[in-house]
Homo-oligomer: A and B are copies of this chain.
Amino acid sequence: MERKFARRRALSADDRSALRTLPFQRQSVPPHGFILREGEPSRRCALIHSGLAYRNKTTAEGMRQIVSIHIPGDMVDLQGALLKIADHNVQALTPCEMIFIDRQAVADLILSHPTLGMAMWVDTLIDGSIFREWIVNVGRRDAHARIEHLLCELGTRFEMAGLSDRDGFDLPMTQEQIADSVGLTPVHVNRVLKSLGGDRLIQRNRRYIRIPDWQKLTDVAGFNERYLHLDQATV
């Protein structure tokens, strides 16, 4: 965690020691397990130590929409410190090791160490940028481009986090979860994946995805990594 924030802003020795003395609690969450439930009052913040997780919401008619995917190092619940009621669910995609920090401890930390607050705020802003791109994805791209774009985003985020190579990674999502991420049905996702394979844009082996020509995939996807703000190191 310290490493991550140090990438965002220059940290003082005091900042670092404050981070290290922050009281936290570790917890494993199995796949599908809830890390946060919509409607619950906020009690703590959550940080992924290992594993993948996803945020989702459900419409009144019971349709589910996944609104983001999170990887180790992501704070999936910063709003836990500042907002009162959770407006969405967070669930584990794979087995997760989570770090939970008390709401009040985070709030105090931000007030006493504003530089750390800014580092976390940057994360919130980047999250927001990714949400905006997802609105564009489901609102204005066809089924092929939506899925291609999702693969590009995950590939580059995995690579930046040092989890894998962007042109070859394990995607531990069911086709139903992919469908819920891009606003399609599982059946259609299946057909599109098959078609992407036929076009040699991807190669699949189980849930392992290989991208033989990264440039070609980003082109057809209309993927521009600017919205990920990868340059966002120290100011």
Residues of A whose CB lies within 8 Å of any CB of B are: 38-39, 55, 57, 59-61, 63-65, 67-68, 78-79, 82-85, 87-88, 107, 110-112, 114-115, 117-118, 121-122, 124-129, 131-136, 138-141, 145, 182-183, 222, 224, 226-227, 229, 231-232, 235
What are 30 A-to-B residue pairs whose CB atoms are below 8 Å? A38-B226, A39-B226, A55-B132, A57-B136, A59-B136, A59-B141, A59-B222, A60-B224, A65-B136, A67-B135, A78-B125, A82-B235, A83-B122, A83-B125, A83-B129, A83-B232, A84-B229, A84-B232, A87-B129, A87-B133, A110-B114, A111-B118, A114-B117, A117-B121, A124-B124, A124-B125, A128-B131, A138-B138, A139-B183, A140-B183
Contact B88 A132 (CB under 8 A): yes
The smallest beta-carbon distance between A70 and chain B, in angstroms, is 13
Contact A226 B85 (CB under 8 A): yes
Closest to A116 in B: B114
Q: Is the interface of A mostly helix, strand, loop or mixed?
A: helix
* Chain B neighbourhood of A118, CB < 8 A: 82, 107, 110-111, 117
The smallest beta-carbon distance between A48 and chain B, in angstroms, is 17
* Chain B neighbourhood of A136, CB < 8 A: 57, 59, 65, 67
* Chain B neighbourhood of A111, CB < 8 A: 114-115, 118
**Copies of this chain, how many?**
2
* Chain B neighbourhood of A128, CB < 8 A: 79, 124, 127-128, 131
Contact A84 B231 (CB under 8 A): yes
Given contacts A83-B229, A124-B124, A124-B128, contact A140 B67 (CB under 8 A): no
Contact B232 A126 (CB under 8 A): no
Q: Determine which of B67, B114, B138, B222 lies in contact with A183 in the assembled complex, contact meaning CB atoms within 8 Å.
A: B138
Q: Most chain-B Cβ atoms within 10 A of its Cβ — which of A122, A124, A182, A232?
A: A124
Contact B82 A125 (CB under 8 A): yes
Given contacts A87-B226, A140-B63, A226-B87, contact A82 B121 (CB under 8 A): yes
